[in-house]
Each structure stands twice: as C-alpha cells, then as structure tokens.
Structure 1
Amino acid sequence: MDYERLIDEETWNFIGRTAESYPEDAVHLPIDEQRRIYDKLCRAFRQPYPEVIQTEDRDAKGVPVRVYTLGDPTRTVVYFHGGGFVLGGLDSHDDVCAEICASTGYRVVAVDYRLCPEHRHPAQFDDCWTATVWAAEEFGDPLVLAGDSAGGNLAACVTHHSRWRLKDVLGQVLIYPVLGGDVDSGSYVEHANAPMLTREDVLFYKSVRFEGDEPTGDPTFAPLQDTDFSDLPPTVIVTADCDPLRDDGRDYRDRILAAGGTAHWMNEKGLVHGYLRARTTVGRASDSFERITVAIEALGQGIWCYD
C-alpha cells in the first residue's frame, strides 16, 4: 500500500508526533505501561475547551460519567470513548466531548466504562447500557449515541439493545468503529500494516475482551453479529480510509439499508485511525470533525442530510 501517496504531509506530521508518545509496538507492553503512555499521548494532544462549557462528574448507577453542558440543552449525546477496550477514560476524550457540546449545544454524557482485561465482556457493554438508561431517566431528553473506535462498537451495541427498550434514541454516529467484521478479508488485509492501527493491533484488542471461546451471535460484543438490523435509528458511520477497520463501517451501513433502515457511510480519504486527535492540526481531520458534529446535531433535530 502506497501510504506516501495516500497520506498528506499534515497527516504524516500527526503520525510522527503520535509516535513520539506512543510507540508502534505498544500492544506488546504490559497493560499498565500501555495505559501510562496512552494517557501521556492524550495529554500531549489535549486542547483547551471553551470556558462557557460546564462539566460535572456524576455517578450513573455505579458508572462514572462526566456531564458537559452549555445553556439549557434539549438533547443529550451519550459518548463512549475509544482505546481498544483497554485504554482511556473520562480524561482521554475530555476535549472532544467538550467540543461536541460547544458545536451542537447538546448536553454530552461521557461514559467511564470498565476496561479489559481486568473486566471482560460484557462488563463494558453493561456499563454503557447502564449509563445510557441513567442519562435517559436523569435528563428526559431524546438521545444521540456516539463513540470512536471501541467506543463506536459500544455505541452500536447499545443502540441495537435499546430497540423496544428505550424511547427517543434519535440516532447514532460511529467514528472509525470496530464492529466485528471479517479480519481475513477486505480492509483488514489491504491495510494490515496501516499507520496508527494494524491488523495485529486489532487482533490483540479483540483477544483481551474475552476468556475461552470468542463470543458468537452476540450483538452486545460485535454489532455485525446481529441477525436483525431492523428498527435501528438513523445512523452515520465515519471511517478513515487508511485503516483496517474501514470496511466494518461500509458493511454495517449495508446491513441497515438491506433491512429497510436509514444509514450513511462517510469514508475519509487519506486519514488514519485515531484522527480525532488531529482535528486542530490536520485540515482533512478538521473537516471530518465538522462533518461529525454536524451529523450529531442534525440527528438530534430529526434531520437527515444524506439523501
């Protein structure tokens, strides 16, 4: 794969800066060390957020959450952070959540779910479902569910589970999500050695989620394992073209459309996994983040912009 041609100079600078904090072979380090250097990476890229944003750390039926508000919101975004189910927390995506709040005017509830390998599946799903139900009950607003990478998986898992259980889930926005596609075909092979995330990384992060046999037929583990894609809310999936996870987004869109639902897939050319951290330094990432926030805002208003 000719990444020198596909990826522009700004994005290569972002990749290089990331490597200064987070080495390519980080998945081979002990979990505590992975978390230490990931937290360092997040601090290195953290952006100050608008002073008008107010935050409060709350307890959502035993799950820590951080609530971001601006004015008097009438919609709530529940956001699930990325990090391979192993890394991250309330601080890793703090600035991203604040900027979503500022851009949309919606309340944002960031979820600090338990991490692997100390807590295996379904602990992550259970925490995200609990926090989502809490947000619906606590604020009474219609919801938009969103997340990146592992968090995109969890957002989709919660969305599938919410059918016929929760009212007013207006939509979901999934950012370079891992959804349980075939790791032996398509983008998993084409971009097996992509910058920022490799196929080997994906396999590692999947392996730490369970003990014994890998779950099958379990849409709370991998949304693409579901057999029923009907009655899902409007869905926007945003992927990075230079990413082994890319085709998961395409396949998920196709399943929803085949079931008669509403879905749109945006594949961002020349971008790599984790590009949310590049939203202030890379033009392509900045443009994509604007499209993401526009999608969240539009779904919250019941507007579909993609026909």
Structure 2
Amino acid sequence: MDYDTLIDAETWAFIRKTEDYYPPNAIGMSIADQRAIYDKMCRAFFEGYPEGVSARDETADGVPIRIYESGTPDGTVIYIHGGGFVVGGLDSHDDVCAEICDRTGLRVVSVDYRLCPEHAHPASFDDPWRVAQYVALTWPGVTLLVGDSAGGNLCAAVAHRARGELVFAGQVLIYPGLGGDMTKGSYLAHAHAPMLTLDDVKFYSELRFGMPHPPLDPLAAPLADTNFANLPPTVIFSAQCDPLSDDGRDYRDRILKAGGQAYWHEEPGLVHGYLRARSTVGRAQASFERILSAISALAKGIWPF
C-alpha cells in the first residue's frame, strides 16, 4: 500500500508526533508502560476545555464517569473511549468530550470502563451498559451513544443489548472495530498501516479474549450478531488507512439489510486515532465537523443521509 500517496503531509506530521510518544512497537512493552506512555501521548495533544464547559467526576452504579455540561442541555451523549480495551480512561479523551459538549450543546457522560487484561470480557461491556441504564434513569430525554475504536465496539454492543429495554436516538461510531473477518479486505490491505496494524488488532484481541479472533458473541463482536433489526439510527466514520475500515461498511450493510437506518463514510487518507488531529490536520478537522453534525442531527431526530 502506497501510504506516501494516500496520506498527506499534515497527517504524516501527526503520525510522527504520535510515534514520538507511543512508538509502533509499544505492544511489546508491559501493560503498565503502555498505559503510561499512552496517557502521556494523549496529554501532549490535549487542547483544553472550550469556555463555558464544566466537568465533574461522579459514579454511575459504581462505574466512574465524567459529566460535561454547558448551559442547559436537553440531551445526553454517552461517550465510550478507545484504546484497544487496554489503555485510556477519563483523561485520554477529556478534551474531545468537552468539545462535543460545547459544539452540540448536549451533556456528555464519559465512561471509565474496566480494562483488560485485569478485567476480561464482559467487564468492558458491563460498565457502559450500567452507565446507559443510569443515564436513562437520571436524565430522561434524548440519549446517544458515541465512541471511537474500542469505544465504538462497546457502543454497538450496548445498542444491540438495549433493544426492548432502552431507547437511543442514535449511535455514532468512529473508526470502530466490530469483530470483522481478519483474513480479508481492509484487514489485509492495511495490515501494515501507520497507527494501527493487523498485528496490533490481534494483540488486543488476545488480551481481551485469550484468542486472536473475537468470539461469536455480539456483546464482544457486534458483527457476529444474527439480528440487526431495531437498532438506533447509526452513523459510522472509518479511516481509509486502517485495518478496521471494512467493519464500518459491513455493519452499515447489515443494518440496511435488516430495514434500519445506517450511513458509513470512509475518510480518505486518514488513519486510526485521527480524533487527536482534529485541530492540526485539515482532513481530520473536516471529519470531526461531520461527526459533530451527525450527533446534532440525531439528537434532533433528523436523518440527513
């Protein structure tokens, strides 16, 4: 794959800065070291809070959460962070959540779910599910699921589990890994992509499940479900230069086949983790605007696709 052609200079600068903190061989480090350098890397990209956004830490049925508010929100976003189910937390996506709150006017509740390998599946699912139930009881009204990477996986898992119990106005999944077939498509075409490789994906899967491929459990791999009906309106943004890209397309196709609403957009020339580049890379900035527009539209009950 000719990434020198696909990826522009701004994105390469973002990749190099990321690798200065979190090198490509990071999966060979101890889990503690991976988390330490990931946290340091996220802090290097931290952009602060927009004026008027406040945040407070609480717990939801025992799960740590951070609540972002600005003004008088009339809806809530449950944000589930990425990090391969191994790294990340309330601080890793702190400014992203604050900016979503500011730009959409919605309350954002960030979920600090338990990580593996200390906490095997389904711990990482159970925590967002408990938070979703808490949000439904605490802030009645419009609720959306939004998450990136592993967080996108967990959003979809919650949406599948919630049918018949909780109602979501929509879900917005950002370069999600949904348990697709690792032997074909983007998994092979972008097996050596910058920022996330196929070996990385397999490493995280082995830590989460003890095996390189996810089990046939929709709460772990939503694409393994046999029923894609009655899901909330779904918008998916994938990065072109990412082994996970086809998961978003395949998830869209299965929802559409089941009669639901789904839209997938593959961002040309972008790489996994591009949310951190939303203010320095033109392509990432344009994608973030699309993400914000999708969240705002779904919160208002609008399907613009």
Q: TM-score if structure 1 supplies the norm length?
A: 0.98
Partners of 1:246 and 1:192 lie apart in 2 by 11
Partners of 1:217 and 1:5 lie apart in 2 by 37
| SS of alignment partner, residue 297 of structure 2 | helix
- Paired position in structure 2 for 1:82: 82
Per-residue CA shift, 1:56-104, capped at 9, x if unaligned? 1111000000000011111100000000000000000000000000010
Q: Could you say if the C-alpha distance between residues 239 and 214 of structure 1 is closer, same or farther in structure 2, counting changes exceeding 3 Å?
A: closer
Partners of 2:276 and 2:214 lie apart in 1 by 31
| SS of alignment partner, residue 17 of structure 2 | helix
Letter of the structure 2 residue corresponding to residue 155 of structure 1: C
1:191 matches 2:190: yes
Per-residue CA shift, 1:124-153, capped at 9, x if unaligned? 000010011111111112211010000000
User: Could you tell me whether the CA contact under 8 Å between 1:120 and 1:211 is conserved in 2?
Assistant: no
CA RMSD of aligned residues (A): 1.0
Partners of 2:266 and 2:214 lie apart in 1 by 28
- Paired position in structure 1 for 2:113: 113
Per-residue CA shift, 1:234-275, capped at 9, x if unaligned? 100000000000000000000000001000001000000000
- Paired position in structure 1 for 2:91: 91
Partners of 1:69 and 1:147 lie apart in 2 by 18
| SS of alignment partner, residue 109 of structure 2 | strand
Percent identity, aligned pairs only, is 62
- Paired position in structure 1 for 2:245: 246
| SS of alignment partner, residue 253 of structure 2 | helix
Equivalent residue runs for 1:98-177 within 5 Å: 98-167=98-167, 169-177=168-176
Q: Which runs of no fewer than 5 residues in structure 2 stay unpaired?
A: none
User: Could you tell me whether the CA contact under 8 Å between 2:205 and 2:212 is conserved in 1?
Assistant: no
Letter of the structure 2 residue corresponding to residue 289 of structure 1: F
Letter of the structure 1 residue corresponding to residue 113 of structure 2: Y
Shift of 1:179: 0.1
Partners of 2:135 and 2:12 lie apart in 1 by 39
Give the aligned length.
Answer: 305
| SS of alignment partner, residue 209 of structure 2 | coil
Partners of 1:35 and 1:166 lie apart in 2 by 33
| SS of alignment partner, residue 35 of structure 2 | helix
Q: Could you say if the C-alpha distance between residues 212 and 149 of structure 1 is closer, same or farther in structure 2, counting changes exceeding 3 Å?
A: closer
- Paired position in structure 2 for 1:32: 32
Letter of the structure 2 residue corresponding to residue 154 of structure 1: L
- Paired position in structure 1 for 2:181: 182
Letter of the structure 2 residue corresponding to residue 242 of structure 1: C
- Paired position in structure 2 for 1:22: 22
Partners of 1:147 and 1:114 lie apart in 2 by 16
Partners of 1:181 and 1:215 lie apart in 2 by 9
Q: TM-score if structure 2 supplies the norm length?
A: 0.98
User: Could you tell me whether the CA contact under 8 Å between 2:77 and 2:143 is conserved in 1?
Assistant: yes
Partners of 1:139 and 1:233 lie apart in 2 by 19
| SS of alignment partner, residue 110 of structure 1 | strand
